[in-house]
Amino acid sequence: MNKQNWIAGAAIAVLLGSSLVPGGQAYAATSKVSSSSTGVQVIKAGEKYLGTPYKYASSRSDKSTMDCSEFTMWAFLEGAGINLGKGGARSQYSQGRHVSRSNLKVGDLVFFSTKATMKYPAGSIKRIGHVGIYAGNNKVLHTYGAGGVKYSSMASGWWDKHYVGATRILN
């Protein structure tokens, strides 16, 4: 295992509340955090794009910039071989099965409102304006604004207040 892969594995282990053991595998400290290895693979695939600039309504064919749903599309395709399609966050919300916030697992898609979508009533799919990937420990891996692809906390602040729901694509 090269140094870059080990560092990426260690970063995931820290974010997931895990420990990294020789061989580079992360083991979850609690069963609540543990998820399928496929969820971790989706996160690893997404981490390849950390820092990639955000661009609303990106092309879906050029990975030099991404919007939120293009980012999740590539992470799922590259990490799990699952094609989410080229639709936006609302389209992705319609896939998989809905899960409660208290039952989130690594690799679940998490959805948020934006300033533009807050005008729609709670419970309306139109309220969704943003998507990311749940990374464990109340963290979301996603892209928006300055800094592009990044981790953010869902524990408080904007992402906590604007959380709409989640879907599980992975088994």
Segment 9-63, tens digit of pLDDT: 444 444 434 333 333 333 332 223 334 689 999 999 999 999 999 998 888 788 9
Residues 11 and 85 in one domain: no
Residues 45 and 104 in one domain: yes
99-137 per-position pLDDT tens digit: 999 999 999 999 999 999 999 999 899 999 999 999 999
What pLDDT, on a 0 to 100 scale, did the predictor assign at position 138? 96
- Residue (of 50, 109, 110, 38) closest to 79 by Cα position: 38
Element (H, E) at 165: strand 163-168
Instruction: Return the C-alpha torsion angle 36, 132, 44, 38, nearest 10.
Output: 20
**How distant, in Å, are the alpha carbons of 13, 62, 78, 113, 159 from that of 19?**
6, 35, 24, 33, 27
Domain count, the chain: 2
What pLDDT, on a 0 to 100 scale, did the predictor assign at position 60? 77
Q: Would you call 8 a catalytic residue per the annotation?
A: no
Strands (E), the chain: 18-20, 26-28, 97-99, 109-112, 130-136, 139-143, 149-153, 163-168
pTM comes to 0.79
What pLDDT, on a 0 to 100 scale, did the predictor assign at position 36? 62
Residues 59 and 24 in one domain: no
Residues 52 and 15 in one domain: no
**Residues of the domain holding 25:** 1-32
Please tell me which residue in 130, 150, 162, 168 is annotated as part of the active site: 130
Q: Would you call 68 a catalytic residue per the annotation?
A: yes
Distance CA(64)–CA(159), nearest Å, equals 25
Unique residue bearing structure tokens 């661009």: 55
Unique residue bearing structure tokens 């906390």: 153
Residues 48 and 120 in one domain: yes
86-99 per-position pLDDT tens digit: 899 999 999 989 99
Residues 136 and 73 in one domain: yes
User: CATH number, domain at 90?
Assistant: 3.90.1720.10
Please tell me which residue in 12, 40, 66, 68 is annotated as part of the active site: 68
Residues 76 and 13 in one domain: no
Residues 65 and 149 in one domain: yes
Residues 94 and 20 in one domain: no
What pLDDT, on a 0 to 100 scale, did the predictor assign at position 54? 94
Please tell me which residue in 44, 127, 139, 142 is annotated as part of the active site: 142
